Amino acid sequence: MRRALITGITGQDGLYLAESLLAKGYEVHGLLRGQSNPKRPLVERLVPQVHLHAGDLTDQSSLMRVMAAVDPHEVYNLGAVSFVAFSWENARVTSDVTGLGVLNMLEAVRLHCGDDPRRVRFYQASSSEMFGNVFEVPQRETTLLRPRSPYAVSKAYGHHMTINYRESYGMHASSGVLFNHESPRRGIEFVTRKVSRAVARISLGRQQTIAMGNLDAQRDWGFAGDYVEAMWLMLQQPEPDDYVVATGETHSVRELLDAAFGRVGISDWQPHVVLDPAFLRPAEVDVLTGDASKARAVLDWKPKVAFEELVAMMVDADLVAEQTDSPY
């Protein structure tokens, strides 16, 4: 039985990946920060077969202990401080976890492997936010990075460090440059889930408006459940590499609002949307569109859930959650 270790097990990607690996017959282990992590009950409810270990990406010794205890065949480093807006307020914490945390995990894997650097295959969750003020549209693996937030800078550091460990030590270390991917399990601070939850509540008469920032920002939105399959496929390749994972379609926040409100039969959402400058980024990323041609050709991967289906899925899940008081 193959063993996998997932950092960031409490996030949407960690949960979907755990479910996917369990279905493939893996023994799955997850890293939790702190014994009293408030999301521990969620993980235990959704994926009770996962073995949980206490550890912290900022504490390399804890990572080495977990590596020794699990002795995994594959490591998926999904842990990060991942909310972009938070990163401006807490740049140091974001850098320590999202940037230096990658170095700590890579080093823990390298030391664990000893004289066989390819014994453990390593996946790094890179981000389309690294492209920032983009040099070209669409963005692909060769596009130069121009990050515009502390989060994006931290992700760029981790991305290049993964490449460095691959080239310096011969590790089987790959990065997935994932464009925006969403699901009913997305945190409510992210714009897609913020919208789907608010739309559900507005349709049920539980709130009247939603405060929004830049409605013209455009993103390449896909389904997180599709994207975790690409992560796994990367580690099944004979050689490590980096891959853009995206739908290739771009939609604005206005289109997101159209789809979400339309799902509950509200055609004119303007009376329910309030523009609030507090939700504008200090440095905006206007458009992100991914070219996943390489992933399609090499991994034989392509997204299955379309944008409209994704939004409907999220709104429907939030409607159920609001009516039953049970989170997805």
Selected catalytic residue, list 26, 95, 126, 129: 129
Which two structure tokens, joined as six digits, stand for 164? 């460095």
What is the rounded CA–CA span in Å between residue 85 and residue 20? 30
> Does residue 138 have a cis peptide bond before it, meaning omega lies within 30 degrees of 0?
yes
DSSP-derived secondary structure letter, 96: I
Q: Residue 100's closest CA among 169, 25, 155, 31?
A: 155
The HSE-up count of residue 26 (CA atoms within 13 Å, CB side) is 24
Query: Is 87 tagged catalytic?
Result: no
- Which residue bears the tokens 């993103």? 219
Q: Is 137 helix (H, G, I), strand (E, B) or coil?
A: coil
Contacts of 90 (CB under 8 A, 6+ apart): 81
Please state, in angstroms and rounded to a whole number, the distance separating the CA atoms of residues 146 and 92.
19
Contact 51, 220 (CB under 8 A): no
Catalytic residue among 16, 26, 123, 151: 151
Residue 21 makes CB contacts below 8 A (sequence gap 6+) with 4, 6, 28, 232
Confirm whether 129 is a catalytic residue.
Answer: yes
Q: Alpha-carbon distance 277 to 229, whole Å?
A: 37
- Residue 205's contacts (CB-CB under 8 Å, 6 or more residues apart) are none
Provide the H-helix boundaries in 98-213.
101-113, 150-169, 191-203
Closest CA to 194 of 315, 320, 39: 315
Catalytic residue list contains 157: no
Catalytic choice (62, 95, 126, 127): 127
Closest of 14, 16, 20 to residue 2, by C-alpha = 20
Q: Using CA atoms, how far apart are residues 7 and 100, in angstroms rounded to an integer?
A: 14
Catalytic residues: 127, 129, 151
